[in-house]
Amino acid sequence: MKTIGIVDTTFARTDMGAAAIDELKRYGTGYKIIRRTVPGIKDLPVAAKILLDEGCDIVMALGMPGSKPTDKMCAHEASTGIIAAQLATNKHIIEVFVHEDEAEEGKLAWLMEQRAREHARNAYDMIFKPERLIKNAGRGLRQGYEDVGPVRER
Instruction: Work out which of 3, 28, 33, 37 binds its own copies, going by CB under 8 A.
Output: 37
Tell me whether residue 31 or residue 94 sits nearer to its own copies (CB atom).
Answer: 94
Name which of residues 41 to 80 contact its own copies (CB under 8 A).
Answer: 42-43, 45-47, 49-50, 53, 70, 72-80
Minimum distance, C-beta of residue 59 to its own copies, in the bound complex (Å): 12
Among 94, 120, 124, 144, binds its own copies (CB under 8 A): 94
3/125 with CB nearer its own copies: 125
For the four alpha carbons of 115, 60, 127 and 21, in that order, the dihedral sign comes to: negative
Phi and psi (nearest 5°) for 59? -130, 140
Measured from the CB of residue 148, what is the shortest distance to its own copies in angstroms?
A: 6
Please, what is the minimum distance in Å from the beta carbon of residue 29 to its own copies?
Answer: 22
- Give the contacts of 104 (CB within 8 A, at least 6 positions apart): none
Using CA atoms, how far residue 86 sits from 73, 81, 91, 118, in Å, is 20, 9, 5, 21
Residue 138 DSSP code? T
Nearest to 58 by CA among 6, 15, 98: 6
Binders of its own copies in range 15-34 (CB under 8 A): 15-18
Q: Does 8 bind its own copies (CB under 8 A)?
A: yes
Shortest distance (Å) from residue 55 CB to its own copies: 13
| Interface with its own copies, residue 129, by CB under 8 A | no
Q: Is 128 in the site for its own copies (CB under 8 A)?
A: no
Contacts of residue 82, Cβ cutoff 8 Å, sequence gap at least 6: 44, 45, 48, 61, 93, 95
